[in-house]
Amino acid sequence: MLPLVVYVVMLTIAFFFQGALIFPRYAVGEPDPYVLQGLPSTQQFTLPAVDGTPIIAWFTPGDSRDAATPGACIIFAHGNGELIDHNARVVNMYRRLGVSTLLVEYRGYGRSRGSPSQQTIVSDFAAAREWLDTRPEVDQSRIIYHGRSLGGGVLLALAESHPPAAVIVESTFTSMRDMFRRHFVPGFLCRHPFENARVLPRLGVPTLIMHGTKDTLIPPAHGKRLADLTPGAVYRTFECGHNDLPPDFAAYERFITDFLTALTASGPPVHPR
């Protein structure tokens, strides 16, 4: 009888408190007030969210990109235990490659207000995607989604209504329902399903998938499954866990650069190195 009671309590917690489990916004710390000093070309602005909630975003133009020479742009979505502040190195990597970046802070995280959910966050990213239409330095035919962990789910959900030119996901799960089932919680209790394994194969765009072979939070079988389901996907692994990917930033940059360079036959979307 006691095991059954414990299981029912666990299911109750999973159902009513899953928002705090999936979006642990109170455990990620405060924004870095000095981070933009290392990103001198970055514009911080308040995104015009549909419901008026103040959502903070960063836009960084790629080096040498302007209205005369527009280029690719990455929309980047971070993991659920991060802030946009934690991704300055990735922003600078793309900037050096001549690729612009747009980072959107999740609701309730960092400087953004509101409460996070799959629906509200994806809505904010849709507004961000539409905001990019105003940027003359962005080639609208080369908008690429790069999501880490939960961020992969956010951007693949966005892709259903706003398809990208290509997708990069790292340490990402097949679906949140699968993650629930991994912990013996029925998938139907999940209110934020993030059905990545359903969406990604249907997009029909170039895809790069990266995963740590020692990831115990989101097992590497999830990344391999996404790769197996997605025709033509490039699959790369690192000898690391979940939070320490990439252990070798030079290899990480090389994988991404090679992927971007191969995207179009008419010419690479990045500057030659």
Q: How far is Cα 250 from Cα 108, in angstroms, rounded to an integer? A: 33
Residue 264 has a pLDDT of: 65
Residue 11 has a pLDDT of: 55
Among 100, 149, 171, 175, which one carries the catalytic annotation?
A: 149
Strands 100-104, 54-60: parallel, antiparallel or unpaired by DSSP? antiparallel
Tokens of 41: 């070309």
The packing angle between helices 118-131 and 150-159, to 10°, is 60
3-state DSSP percent of the chain in helix, strand and coil, to 5: 40, 20, 40
Strands (E), 105-241: 138-148, 166-170, 207-212, 234-238
Residue 18 has a pLDDT of: 73
Candidates 14, 24, 25; CA nearest to 183 is 14
Using left for φ > 0, alpha for ψ between -120 and 50, and beta otherwise, residue 238 falls in: beta
Q: How far is Cα 77 from Cα 135, in angstroms, rounded to an integer? A: 19
How big is the CA angle at 243 (ends 118 and 179), to the nearest 5 degrees? 45
Q: Is 211 a catalytic residue?
A: no
Q: Is 117 a catalytic residue?
A: no
**pLDDT by residue, tens only, the chain of 273 residues:** 646 555 555 555 665 567 788 999 988 999 999 999 999 899 999 998 889 999 999 999 999 999 999 999 999 999 999 999 999 999 999 999 999 999 999 999 999 999 999 999 999 999 999 999 999 999 999 999 999 999 999 999 999 999 999 999 999 999 999 998 987 787 677 888 999 999 999 999 999 999 999 999 999 999 999 999 999 999 999 999 999 999 999 999 999 999 999 986 444 455 543
Q: Is 242 a catalytic residue?
A: yes
Tokens of 211: 């995963």
Among 78, 192, 211, 242, which one carries the catalytic annotation?
A: 242
Rounded alpha-carbon distances, angstroms, from residue 47 to 125, 128, 184, 205, 262: 9, 7, 38, 27, 32
Residue 1 has a pLDDT of: 61
Q: How far is Cα 148 from Cα 87, in angstroms, rounded to an integer? A: 11
Q: What is the DSSP letter of 100?
A: E
